């Protein structure tokens, strides 16, 4: 998953109606393909979903969903002036949400509150304060 910050806001997507977990809010991201590194997956998925060129910064955290999917949470940078342009097949809309807005959001994939809890508890660090 890509954790992308701009002005202390997180880039969050609403999943399209055509993918698993339709309509849910989550961080952009997707599955690793054979032969790819996690950084390559991150770069490819951000181009596919949002047409943004990201620069992977560092691995923040790892988690596993109740259904056994392993998630790697990467901090990534995008150029200041670059605006996401969602592929509607995958992404219905995107938002820049503050920490408080993200904590209050409904329809989140359950991994997102887990990530926020891990951050609050100091299990990972971000370039902004809790």
Interface region with ligand 8GT, contact rule CB under 6 A, candidates 22-30, 54-62, 75-83, 92-100: 22-30
> What is the smallest separation between the CB atom of 128 and ligand 8GT, expressed in angstroms?
18
CA dihedral 79, 83, 88, 92 (to 10 degrees): 100
Tell which one of 5, 75, 76, 112 touches ligand 8GT (CB under 6 A): 112
Q: Is 41 in the site for ligand 8GT (CB under 6 A)?
A: no
Residue 78, interface with ligand 8GT (CB under 6 A)?
A: no
Q: Which residues here bind ligand 8GT, judged by CB under 6 A?
A: 1, 19-21, 26-31, 65, 69, 71, 109, 111-112
């Amino acid at each position: 998953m890509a954790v992308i910050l701009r002005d202390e806001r997180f880039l969050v997507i609403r999943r399209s109606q055509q993918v698993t977990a339709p309509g849910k809010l989550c961080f952009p991201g997707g599955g690793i393909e054979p032969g790819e590194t996690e950084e390559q997956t991150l770069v490819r998925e951000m181009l596919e979903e949002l047409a943004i060129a990201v620069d992977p910064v560092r691995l923040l955290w790892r988690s596993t969903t109740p259904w056994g999917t392993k998630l790697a949470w990467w901090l990534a940078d995008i150029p200041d002036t670059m605006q996401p342009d969602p592929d509607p097949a995958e992404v219905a809309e995107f938002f820049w949400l503050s920490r408080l807005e993200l904590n209050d959001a409904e329809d989140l994939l359950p991994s997102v509150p887990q990530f926020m809890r891990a951050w609050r508890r100091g299990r990972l660090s971000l370039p902004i304060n809790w």
